[in-house]
Every structure is written in C-alpha cells, then in structure tokens.
Homo-oligomer: A and B are copies of this chain.
C-alpha cells in the first residue's frame, strides 16, 4: 500500500491562526488517508545568518529535500536587519511562479457567480527586485527588472498548466504601451512560448483594461500570466470577486520541481487560538499540493468535501456568516470523506 511508503512534505504552520488551520489540514488528510507524513517547521525566534531572516536554514533544507510543502500565514517580525519571510522563501527556494486558481464557490454568494480562472504570477523579479535608491534629495527611483529567462520560465509554466488542466486560453497581462522594453520583453517571451502551444488560445490584455473587464465580466478570462506586481494586484482582485483571501488557494512553483502551497491571507492575531479561523484557504492550498503530486483522486475527494460543506451552509465559520468553530467545520469535512 502507499501507506507503507509515505511522501514526506514540509509543513510550516505559521503564526497566529496558522497552527489551528494546519491542524485542520492534518485531520482532513488523515480522514482521507492521504499518504503524507508531515515534517513540521516553525519560524525561528532569532535571525538565522544563513537565511538573513527568522526562517531557519533547516526549514528551507526540509523543503529542498521533500520538494513539497504547505505554509500557513507568517507574520514578519518587526524590526530592521532581516528580510521578510515570504520574500526569503521566494528567493531562497527560487519560487518562480505563483499559481492561484480562483473560482466562485457554489452556495457562497458574492456579486459574482461565474468566476473560474487561474492567475499565474512571475514571482522573482519585476518591481520586487529590491533595487531602490535616492538619486538626489527628494528624488528616488526603483528598478523594475524583467529578464528573458524568468519570463520564458513563467510563460512555459502557464502554458503547461493550461494544457494539463484542460484550459483553453492564456492571457498575458502587461502595460507594454508604457513600459515598451520591460513589459515588451515579457510579451515577446509569452509569444515565443505561445507558438509552441497552438491548441491554446493566446491573447494580450493591458492591465488597466484587464481590471475593468475582470470586474465587469470575469468569465471572459481563463488562465492569466503576468509580471510580479500585476500578479500581486490581480490575484487579490480576483480573490475579492469570490469572497476574499480566506477562500483562495495558492501554490508556488520553484526550480527543480519544488511546490510550496500556501494560504495567502494574514495570521489574524485577533482571533488566534479561539477556534474561530476558517481553514478553507489552507485546505484548498493543500489540495493544489496534492495535484502537484498527481494524487488527483485524493485531491478531488477532499476538494469536493470542502466545497460541499461550504455549499450546504450548515457549518460555516464566522467570516462566512456562520457560527461554527474551526473544529466543527473541519469535522463536517472529515465526515464527508
């Protein structure tokens, strides 16, 4: 049986509500007999000089070794002299693509009921280069970097993803009418890759127009691929369409086949430890991790149980207008497995 040969995966429960929602994932996975053995790592209390952040070197080594991981929310401790935890993970593990499927949840009403798209964000460069300086007093500049290598890599990921998931269209989002060289290079790379996937429709949409179309008619979109900052903006906008970051999964793809799934919402310290948190985003992220491992049967079953529980509406956490605790909601999901 697969149970005799479990897959090891790194788990960062994270801060605030992190441990509670991570517990929910562990219970759901065990109810579904997922052959995964978790290797838990917490954010350190001191700066690890090897990572320049509160993340320990051992925790990064764990992801590198296991090649799969799941991450709860991490609150970057305040103070100078260290790097943000999220950015450290992206950099150290070379997490080049951030993938966020976003779809309307049956039975959970928002202003939209026809969202079904996936944003794929370049996750390593662009405005996130960290290169900024003061030119003279009162004049500062930051560098947006676009490289052929990173653009091709994320474009290829997007087209492979579209193919593997039966998606029909990839839209490259850009502002090349203004940033002709940087966004122009990004588009050029997308076009090159698009030619190798003649069965996938390819289009280019300017970011401002894309946001307008998304709020008017999100059903127009399928897979969207874009540079870092646009991805940051558009993935949150899309999450808003279906109810917020508490409901949307996210998975980061790294060089060498690494997949680090994560809940992208905050650590909600105000409700931490109160058994009130909604584990949906982390659960659905864990499902994307299973899909990455090609455990599609398990992924399908768990996803169905989560969506059904939300749709039925009997057990919902406070953020969704219900009164259930984290454990009650989790149990309702487990009962369906």
Interface residues of chain A, those whose CB is within 8 Å of chain B, are 84, 110-112, 127-128, 132-135, 137-149, 175, 177-182, 184-185, 207-209, 211-216, 229, 232-237, 239-241, 243-245
B181 touches A140 (CB 8 A): yes
Quick one: which of B133, B181, B216 contacts A132, CB cutoff 8 A?
A: B181
Residues on B with beta carbons closer than 8 Å to the beta carbon of A233: 207-208, 211, 233
CB-contact partner of A140 in B112, B133, B182, B234, under 8 A:
B182
Contacts of A110 in B (CB 8 A): 216
Determine the chain B residues whose CB is within 8 A of the CB of A213 once the complex forms: 240
- Listed by A's residue number, 13 A-B pairs whose Cβ atoms lie within 8 Å are A134-B181, A135-B145, A138-B185, A140-B145, A140-B146, A142-B182, A143-B144, A207-B232, A209-B236, A212-B236, A213-B240, A215-B215, A215-B237
By a CB distance below 8 angstroms, the chain B residues around A215 are 111, 215, 237, 240-241
User: Which B-chain residue is minimally distant from A218 (CB atoms)?
Assistant: B215
User: In the complex, which residues of chain B have a beta carbon less than 8 angstroms from the beta carbon of A177?
Assistant: 84
Interface residue from B128, B181, B240, B243 paired with A142 (Cβ < 8 Å): B181
- Most chain B Cβ neighbours within 10 Å, of A84, A180, A233: A233
Residues of B close to A137: CB separation below 8 A: 148
Please name 9 further chain A to chain B contacts, defined as beta carbons within 8 Å, in addition to the given A137-B148, A140-B185, sorted by A numbering.
A110-B216, A139-B147, A140-B146, A143-B143, A175-B232, A211-B240, A214-B237, A215-B237, A216-B240
Tell me which residues across on chain B come within 8 A of A245, comparing CB atoms: 212
Chain B nearest CB, measured from A219 CB (Å): 13
